[in-house]
Amino acid sequence: MLGRSALVSASSAPSENRVFVYEVEGLRQSDQTDNNRYPVRNSGTIAIQVPYSRMNEEMRRITRLGGRIVAIHPQSEYTASQESSEG
């Protein structure tokens, strides 16, 4: 580990704790999407929570499945906007 102290754990990096929400449209139900932990609807957008460390991988997966990312928000910002729209 060049440049990193042995006393600092890997999880103390600020990027490790960041989670983003992808708003995705155009995902279709298929054999691949049947393996997801969430159902896919044909209409509207779905929100997928993605850790910072997997953002690039998830973008490629969404594109491969035929989806389009319409927005990316930090989870805290997305949660706050959802709560204010409900109230």
pLDDT of residue 66: 86
In a domain, 24, yes or no: no
pLDDT band of 78, cuts 50, 70, 90: confident
In a domain, 11, yes or no: no
In a domain, 38, yes or no: yes
In a domain, 79, yes or no: yes
How many domains in the chain?
A: 1
The pLDDT of 70-76, averaged and rounded, is: 92
Evaluate whether 70 touches 24 at the Cβ level (below 8 Å).
yes
What are 17-36's pLDDT values in tens digits?
899 999 999 876 666 666 66
Q: Which residues span the domain enclosing 79?
A: 29-42+53-87
Count Cβ neighbours within 10 Å for each residue of 16-43 and write b for 16 or more, e otherwise: eeeebbbbbeebeeeeeeeeeeeebeee
In a domain, 47, yes or no: no
In a domain, 69, yes or no: yes
What are 34-71's pLDDT values in tens digits?
666 666 555 678 899 999 999 999 999 999 888 999 99
